[in-house]
Amino acid sequence: LSIIIPTYGREQVLVDTLDSLLGYAKQDCEVILVDQTATHEPEVHTRLEYWSQQEAICWLRQTVPSIPMAMNRGASEAKGELLLFLDDDIVPDSHLHIAHILAQESHRGDIIAGRVLQPWHEDSHDSDPFTKATAEIKEEFMGGNFSIRREKLFSLGGFDENFKGAAYRFEREFSDRILATGGTIWYEPTALIRHLHYQSGGTRSRGDH
């Protein structure tokens, strides 16, 4: 399993996200950070550099910010057969990567879409399609918590880099390609993250939608 995290304009929240992941996943998988931030705060840069030197993360730098491009780059550098894409401002459940692996083995879905709880959601919240507690087939996924097999991703041409800025709806376009080839998108609620919805950096620095 390769965990791929594109990041842009994030500081301490990025360190906290990586710290949580490395606390339990480092023995089972690699963590690839595709960093599009020109300059980090000194303390953040020092921590990322330390993790990179210790080979706890693969720290890739990218000068042109682009969500699809960063995701494609991370996928092309990944060693794992299975790719797990995550946001850079999350609190991952300790069972997250195992849940994705088990779901891929059980369902062989082309995409496993994980559960995403936003700050305004409770655990029992059941009206949003990606906070439900029950598993089901979906027609799309959220880009901040999903897994796909590397071979499948590249057989479809990767993510469309024509989506610029906030890259709004690039997930929908890729979902349409998956479904058009007879693929499936399986929603797995045990693959859980809490999205912090951090207000600075990330896609929100490029505007809404």
Annotate 133-174 with DSSP letters as a single string: SS-EEES---TTEEEEEHHHHHHTTSS-TT--TT-TTHHHHH
Higher pLDDT, 203 or 101: 101
pLDDT tier for residue 155 given thresholds of 50, 70 and 90: very high
Phi-psi region of 197 (alpha: psi -120 to 50; beta: other; left: phi over 0): left
Rounded to two decimals, the pTM is 0.92
Q: For residue 188, what are its two tokens?
A: 């797995």
- CA–CA gap between residue 33 and residue 18 (Å, rounded): 9
Residue 66 has pLDDT above 50, yes or no: yes
